[in-house]
Structure 1
Amino acid sequence: MSPDKTLADKAYRKLRAEILDGHLGAGQKLKLEALAKDCAVGMSPLREALARLQGDHLVVSEGQRGFWVAPLPLDEIDDVSRVRAMLETEALSASIAKGGSAWERRVKEAFERLSQFEEGMPSPGTERPAALLNAWEERNHAFHAALVSGSGSPCLTRLCEQLYQQSERYRRVSRMVSGGRRNVHEEHVAIFRAALERQTLKACRLVEDHILRTAEQIRLAMSLNELPDA
């Protein structure tokens, strides 16, 4: 990897984390000189990083006017959640039908890692700091990826991954504002058991409910004015 690519990746990871953690707020204008200084990179690597963030739907640009942190429109999370639920349940159904021992092993390993972490998290109603949410997100990602990994369709798997990433920012906001009031661990346990017992209809229904419940949680938070201005 060239030095510029390394610097661009460094800036990308730093800015992505700051957006997901809320340090860079929705709709905030991004000042390139300040960002370059903060990330300790030049303009070329910074612009490459910003281009990648646009691909992640975390940054938007308007012609020559500059870059902004992408807003958090409610209609987008509704749309993303519906499409993600459709594709992820299709991929899960195929994985249950086609997945062999390697798929089962991957699902078990990802679930055990996630479950152990969730069991040690603060009790419902307790504030969840950003570092804790970051660690949870990594394990949650691995579990959902494992569930659909046996579908046999690289295209479907790739689309599921893209939609998971697109919904990550909303999911983190939901986890922060909920204060843990929703018992996501129990939802994961139920999904895991149904998938491994090859109960296709039940597993798909649980995954769909799991995804759409987050959208409901976001809507509730916005109605209570708990979210920052989007």
Structure 2
Amino acid sequence: MRRTDQKRAGGRTLAGDAYEAIRQAIRSGRFKPGDRLRFADLQALCGMSVTPVREALARLTAEGFTVLDDHRGYSVASLSLAELRDITAARQLCESEALRLSVEKGDADWEGRVIAAHHLMSRIPQVREDIPSAMREDWEARHAAFHAALISACGSPILLEICEKLFSRADHYRRMSISLSGGMRDVAGEHRRVMELALARDAEGAAAVLRDHYGRTAAALDSFFQSENGDPA
């Protein structure tokens, strides 16, 4: 049995304890967005060797809380709640309008793209088996394809380009949200509801559910940081 897998009281592991300690330090603002994370500092914080700290950082990186640079090592992800709120508002505005237009203009081919993209996304789990709080990369690719299909018939290449850029800008916030919301959200149900309303040609209803879908993602992160009075905005 590896040292980091050894159980502590209550069934906890060394790597799990290191994960909780580092994540709490990020949450409270002890480590600021963009701060470089040095192993010596983290070992002192956690009171343990480098191996469980390294495993904790791998998990935090998969969840979007930290990033790994080949030259600088690990650092805290550049998070700003002000940016998150701005991205969310922009996505709610632009993508809901693109969806509304797609519902109005979309033909049978558009319906087929939406159904096919949703089917592919729903065929695989959202989270990784080894790290249940982290998103699978293949699911994220299919997730992106589903959202792209929903708005693909809007008729505006410029609007589609804006929506694509906003989707990318929201990436690490989305990853963090998944790790925080866990089973509290029925993400599959939210996606299915958007699709059903879109295919039923309920443009306003589909747009409203999509706006709520993005709002829930932002709310998970907002609550996480605000509860510690550690708003990094």
Length-normalised TM-score, structure 1: 0.65
Q: Report Cα offsets for 1:74-102 as digits up to 9, x if no partner.
A: 11100000001100011001111111111
2-side partners of 1:150 and 1:123: how far apart? Answer: 26
Structure 1 residue 196 corresponds to structure 2 residue 203:
no
Letter of the 1:165 partner, please give it.
S
Question: What residue number does 2:140 align with?
Answer: 137
Question: What residue number does 1:74 align with?
Answer: 81
Map 1:1-230 onto structure 2 (within 5 A): 22=61, 30=69, 32=71, 71-117=78-124, 128-129=131-132, 132-224=135-227
3-state secondary structure, aligned to 1:207: helix
Task: Quote the offset at 1:23 in angstroms.
Answer: 6.1
Q: CA RMSD in A?
A: 3.5
Conserved 8 A contact 1:21-1:130: no
Q: Using a 3 Å threshold, how does the CA distance of structure 1 residues 31 and 102 change in structure 2: closer, same or farther? A: closer
Letter of the 1:106 partner, please give it.
R
Task: Quote the offset at 1:151 in angstroms.
Answer: 0.7
Task: Quote the offset at 1:129 in angstroms.
Answer: 3.5
Q: Using a 3 Å threshold, how does the CA distance of structure 1 residues 221 and 34 change in structure 2: closer, same or farther? A: closer
Length-normalised TM-score, structure 2: 0.64
Conserved 8 A contact 2:110-2:152: yes
- In structure 1, runs of 5+ residues without a counterpart are 1-17, 36-67
Conserved 8 A contact 1:123-1:180: no
Conserved 8 A contact 1:128-1:179: no
1-side partners of 2:176 and 2:212: how far apart? Answer: 18
1-side partners of 2:194 and 2:137: how far apart? Answer: 22
2-side partners of 1:33 and 1:71: how far apart? Answer: 14
Q: Number of paired residues?
A: 174
2-side partners of 1:70 and 1:205: how far apart? Answer: 30
Task: Quote the offset at 1:149 in angstroms.
Answer: 0.5
Question: What residue number does 1:51 align with?
Answer: none
Letter of the 2:101 partner, please give it.
A
1-side partners of 2:116 and 2:104: how far apart? Answer: 20
1-side partners of 2:99 and 2:136: how far apart? Answer: 25
Question: What residue number does 2:37 align with?
Answer: none
Conserved 8 A contact 1:25-1:69: no
Task: Quote the offset at 1:135 in angstroms.
Answer: 2.6
- In structure 2, runs of 5+ residues without a counterpart are 1-56
Conserved 8 A contact 2:63-2:175: no
